[in-house]
Amino acid sequence: MMNESITPVWPQFAQHETLFNEIQGHLDPIIKRVLGQQLLCSGPVASQLSTHACPVIRHTSLSRLTKADIISDNLSLSIGSQTCDLFISAFELEFSSQPYVFLREIERVIKTDGHLILIGFNPFGLLASTKYFPKNKNHQPWNGHFYRVKRIVDWLQLLGFSLETEQYCFYQFGLGRSDSIATSAPQFSQYFPKLGSVYILHARKYISPLTPVWHKNKRRINQWLPVAQPS
CATH of residue 53: 3.40.50.150
**Is residue 228 in a domain?**
no
Residue 229 within any structural domain of the chain: no
Q: How far is Cα 204 from Cα 86, in angstroms, rounded to an integer?
A: 9
pLDDT digit string (tens) for 11-40?
A: 556 677 888 999 999 999 999 999 999 999
Low-confidence ranges of the chain (pLDDT < 70): 1-14, 66, 134, 175-188, 208-231
Are β-strands 84-90 and 58-63 bridged in parallel, bridged antiparallel, or unpaired?
Answer: unpaired
Enclosing H/E stretch for 204: strand 198-205
Question: So what's the pLDDT on residue 202?
Answer: 98
Instruction: Decide if 131 is inside a domain.
Output: yes
Q: Is residue 70 part of a domain?
A: yes
Taking residue 167's Cβ as centre, other Cβ atoms within 10 Å add up to 18
Q: Is residue 230 part of a domain?
A: no
The answer as to whether 190 is a domain residue is: yes
pLDDT of residue 168: 95
pLDDT of residue 88: 97
98: containing domain: 6-223
1 lies in a domain? no
Burial of 76 (0-12, 13-18, 19+ CB in 10 A): exposed
Rg (CA), the chain: 22
Give the per-residue pLDDT at 203.
Answer: 98
CA angle 122, 38, 50 (to 5 degrees): 50
Structural domains in the chain (count): 1
Q: Per the domain annotation, does 54 fall within a domain?
A: yes
What pLDDT was estimated at residue 186?
Answer: 64
